[in-house]
Structure 1
Amino acid sequence: MTPFFVAIFLLGLSSLATAANFNQVYEWPEELNYEWPSEESRARALADVTFKPAKLYPIYMAVYESRIFFSLYRYNRYIPATLVSLPTSSASSAPPLLTPFPSLEMNGEKNCNQIGEATGLQVDSVGRLWVLDGGSKKCNSKLWTIDLKNNDQTKLVHEFSFQKWTHDLVLDETPNGTFAYIALWVKKHIVVFSLEKNESWTVETPDIMVYSIALSPKTDQEPRQLYIGKYNSTELYSISVDTLRNGNLTANPELVGNWTAIDSYSMVMDNQGTMFTAFSRKNFLSSWKTSQPFQEQRFHEVAGLEYVWPFTFTFDQSGTLWMTVFDDKSKPRCRLLKAAVGAKSSQASPDGASGKEEYVAERRILIDSSVFFVFLLAFAIL
């Protein structure tokens, strides 16, 4: 065995050693379903076609302590509640029902005081769930906060001047205030919201249709970067958040690199600076360590997926990556997975990742074992 072959073999083993080990939490063999107030209310919704179980699937998620929150893609009037919750664990082996959150009455399109279409979800540092609400044909888009530490008290934070088209949001908590950066479907701008001023404004991104966004971690060394995935393109861009916070009405995103697939519909950043990306109609997740020059890595792959948005994923505050895998063409239809990766949401400090030391130690053991195996094999061959 040549030294070159040994090096290549070692590199391959090291890559395998750092891959996440996902464990299944729940699986839904058939359609997802709500927790209804009564069987009569469920039967009535089925009869008047305001509920179609086959149309339920998650597209965004957030995790806080013992609860997971999903926003469900809205198929017209078939979805009574687009914001739901479920427990992170259960004593029962049966998959849990989805609980409309904060209640069934707070979801819907009957009036503009309801959550019409939950899209992006984020949990801030004080335990508030931020909900981006697309509204409806007659109601403007909105921002809600739900205080998860205080009996789920719900507050309408801001109403925008536009309707629908909301896609995702990220939160930027600073000593001078909290900002939300919001992506709209295939629009050539970013919407910025200042919590302290209760104001929102539009920052144009000339020639770049925004599809997905992610925010770099908090550091003392350099300003945070907002990353933008361009619609119908492999291109990834970045903007300094200083440009967005200062009230500028135009930004000039800089090209970072090109993914191997088009349409990165979801991008999530951990607090160690690694970005994870899912692509429309692709059966894999990619990653990139943003502290290094752009280089895409294949993070996770599931054979045979056919759905348009197969993955929903997020980090919690204890070093766990949560993910749903959805496939409308096979069974189980939906699975909830988790992996201990030692990194948190990008909202957390890079130095405070719970479980980080344990995860690094496990990786070191695996890599050291790989090195020993390679040298043992090389010695035997020689």
Structure 2
Amino acid sequence: MFKTGVLLSAICFVGVLGQLNDVFEWKELNFVWPSEEAKSNALKNGDYIPDNNLPLGLARWKDKLFVTVPRWKAGVAASLNYIPLNTTEKSPTLIPYPDWKANQIPKKGETPADNQIISVFRVNIDACDRLWVMETGLADILGNPQQIIPSSIAIFDLNTDKLLRRYNFSESDIKGEDSFFANVIVDVTKDTCDNAFAYVPDLGGYGIVVYSFAEDKSWRVKHNYFHFDPLKGDMTVGGVNFQWTDGVFGIALGPINENGFRTAYFHALASCNEFSVSTQVLRNESLATDSHSFELYKLEGHKGDKGQASSSSFDEKTNVLFMTQLQRDGIACWNPRTRLEANNFVLVAQDHEKLIFTNDISIDAERNIWILSDRMPVFIYRQLDPNEINYRILKMSVDEAIKGTACEA
């Protein structure tokens, strides 16, 4: 019986691999510089160290594919960038967004600009053509960490590239030095642009910060389900073994239900469980912060012993949730109409070379799944080989990915 299951999985695996489309790949990242002189000077003074530029998050808007490059180490040229999708280059240079100046660390004594970008992990594009940027404000994270500007949400109008608003987190949103905000999920429709909500997971402080655009205020939510699983923090990816304690990280929103709210599916990175809660809870400050709301959260199920995931994204048309699979070098799906268990949690893409550490996924308006893999454990704990392809962006169709699987249920 076991051998039969393995054989069937292998057959499905071969069919799925043919659907992956290699879009971009890099050995090292390069950028569109103001001039060759500026690049040369940056290389000389250490403002640009190619080895230290690792892509991490992505999101598509029209003909732009946004790619983030957090300042894990010194020498990151620009943290928020985009690639024109009409390029014919396989390893294109990144264009800083909203411009080059905004991505430069202010010199001593300089006042940060209103649209300042320091270090971004993930971004989110909403139905109102706005780019939501989770700005950590933290530079040289793995070296000599410096909080250049406060942790904040920066919101840009993609049609004008102008900053609409920046919201600095309050002291009550932050849990001392433990807090680390690396993701932002936006709850809005094109008819409710002025009533948007953002959900920002705190992977180090084990909480979620909810931001109301209409009220321009935020509140912190805590729950036991936001914590990591101590039995699932030991992982091996790309031949590197490491132990992480990252809590709530991936959040994906289901379709609007009959009461006008959505289901928020979430998980800690160091966990193989998936949980959910109605956004009706999160969006109500008094309810969200009341300890009596504990039982309004639900355990959806278990994704398997190596089911740790970073990012997740929901396709409303098919009602399917997609997740990265860090230890499986792949992407998996689950249809919430079925119980979350091994038989219904399907690996739809796997490649032990191209998908080493699938750091982020994002579904665009045309229902393509964009995938970014970056070998991050090697980057952090060892050293990437600049002669090898280290970073990749791939994509696949939602419908083709789930065809013939339990996710079509």
Give the alignment's TM-score, normalised by structure 1.
0.79
State the alpha-carbon separation in 2 of the partners of residues 218 and 315 from structure 1.
Answer: 14
State the alpha-carbon separation in 1 of the partners of residues 350 and 270 from structure 2.
Answer: 22
State the alpha-carbon separation in 1 of the partners of residues 280 and 14 from structure 2.
Answer: 38
Task: Quote the residue 1:214 is aligned against.
Answer: 251
Residues 5-41 of structure 1 show CA distances to partners (whole Å, capped at 9, x for unaligned) of: 999999986786677712222222x211111011111
- Structure 1 range deviating more: 103-112 or 46-55: 103-112
**Alpha-carbon distance, 1:118 to partner:** 1.3
Task: Quote the residue 1:369 is aligned against.
Answer: none
Residues 44-92 of structure 1 show CA distances to partners (whole Å, capped at 9, x for unaligned) of: 11111111111222211110111100111322332131100001232x3
Q: Secondary structure at the match of 1:77?
A: coil
Structure 2 counterpart of 1:277, one-letter code? M
**Alpha-carbon distance, 1:100 to partner:** 0.8
Task: Quote the residue 1:104 is aligned against.
Answer: 100
Q: Secondary structure at the match of 1:293?
A: coil
Task: Quote the residue 1:166 is aligned against.
Answer: 181
Task: Quote the residue 2:123 is aligned against.
Answer: 121
Does the CA-based 8 Å contact 2:56-2:374 persist in structure 1? no
Residues 147-195 of structure 1 show CA distances to partners (whole Å, capped at 9, x for unaligned) of: 112x211233311124871111111116481100001223221100000
Does the CA-based 8 Å contact 1:282-1:305 persist in structure 2? no
1:233 pairs with 2:233: no
Change in 2 beyond 3 A, CA 1:331/1:138 = closer
1:197 pairs with 2:197: no
Task: Quote the residue 1:301 is aligned against.
Answer: 350
State the alpha-carbon separation in 1 of the partners of residues 370 and 181 from structure 2.
Answer: 23
Q: Secondary structure at the match of 2:34?
A: coil
**Alpha-carbon distance, 1:296 to partner:** 1.4
Q: CA RMSD in A?
A: 3.1
State the alpha-carbon separation in 2 of the partners of residues 8 and 279 from structure 1.
Answer: 18
Task: Quote the residue 2:233 is aligned against.
Answer: none
**Alpha-carbon distance, 1:245 to partner:** 0.6
Task: Quote the residue 1:270 is aligned against.
Answer: 315
Change in 2 beyond 3 A, CA 1:325/1:78 = same
Structure 1 counterpart of 2:351, one-letter code? V
State the alpha-carbon separation in 2 of the partners of residues 143 and 69 from structure 1.
Answer: 16
Does the CA-based 8 Å contact 1:169-1:213 persist in structure 2? no
Change in 2 beyond 3 A, CA 1:338/1:89 = farther
Match of 2:373 among 325, 337, 348: 325
Match of 1:54 among 51, 56, 76: 51
Does the CA-based 8 Å contact 1:25-1:338 persist in structure 2? yes
Task: Quote the residue 2:142 is aligned against.
Answer: none
Task: Quote the sequence identity (%).
Answer: 22
Task: Quote the residue 1:335 is aligned against.
Answer: 392
1:188 pairs with 2:206: yes
**Alpha-carbon distance, 1:224 to partner:** 1.4
Structure 1 counterpart of 2:149, one-letter code? C
Task: Quote the residue 1:43 is aligned against.
Answer: 40
**Alpha-carbon distance, 1:105 to partner:** 1.0
Change in 2 beyond 3 A, CA 1:10/1:235 = closer
Q: Secondary structure at the match of 2:74?
A: helix
Change in 2 beyond 3 A, CA 1:313/1:230 = closer
Runs of at least 5 residues in structure 2 that lack an aligned partner in the other structure: 139-146, 228-246, 376-383, 405-409
Task: Quote the residue 2:241 is aligned against.
Answer: none
**Alpha-carbon distance, 1:234 to partner:** 1.5
Does the CA-based 8 Å contact 1:212-1:267 persist in structure 2? no
Task: Quote the residue 1:148 is aligned against.
Answer: 158
State the alpha-carbon separation in 1 of the partners of residues 162 and 265 from structure 2.
Answer: 32
**Alpha-carbon distance, 1:305 to partner:** 6.3
Q: Secondary structure at the match of 2:281?
A: helix
State the alpha-carbon separation in 2 of the partners of residues 239 and 20 from structure 1.
Answer: 36
> Which structure is larger by alpha-carbon Rg, 1 or 2?
1
Structure 2 counterpart of 1:156, one-letter code? R
State the alpha-carbon separation in 1 of the partners of residues 272 and 123 from structure 2.
Answer: 25
* Count, aligned residues: 340
Task: Quote the residue 1:347 is aligned against.
Answer: none
State the alpha-carbon separation in 1 of the partners of residues 117 and 7 from structure 2.
Answer: 53
1:139 pairs with 2:163: no
State the alpha-carbon separation in 2 of the partners of residues 88 and 182 from structure 1.
Answer: 28
Task: Quote the residue 2:141 is aligned against.
Answer: none
State the alpha-carbon separation in 1 of the partners of residues 283 and 76 from structure 2.
Answer: 36
Change in 2 beyond 3 A, CA 1:8/1:228 = closer
State the alpha-carbon separation in 2 of the partners of residues 188 and 140 from structure 1.
Answer: 19
Does the CA-based 8 Å contact 2:207-2:248 persist in structure 1? no
State the alpha-carbon separation in 2 of the partners of residues 40 and 8 from structure 1.
Answer: 56
Give the alignment's TM-score, normalised by structure 2.
0.74
Change in 2 beyond 3 A, CA 1:80/1:281 = farther
Q: Secondary structure at the match of 1:44?
A: helix
Structure 1 counterpart of 2:151, one-letter code? S
1:258 pairs with 2:302: yes
Does the CA-based 8 Å contact 2:68-2:121 persist in structure 1? yes
State the alpha-carbon separation in 2 of the partners of residues 333 and 7 from structure 1.
Answer: 33
Task: Quote the residue 1:348 is aligned against.
Answer: none
State the alpha-carbon separation in 2 of the partners of residues 306 and 179 from structure 1.
Answer: 32
Task: Quote the residue 2:25 is aligned against.
Answer: 27
Structure 2 counterpart of 1:287, one-letter code? C
State the alpha-carbon separation in 2 of the partners of residues 199 and 46 from structure 1.
Answer: 41
Does the CA-based 8 Å contact 2:311-2:324 persist in structure 1? yes
**Alpha-carbon distance, 1:264 to partner:** 1.8
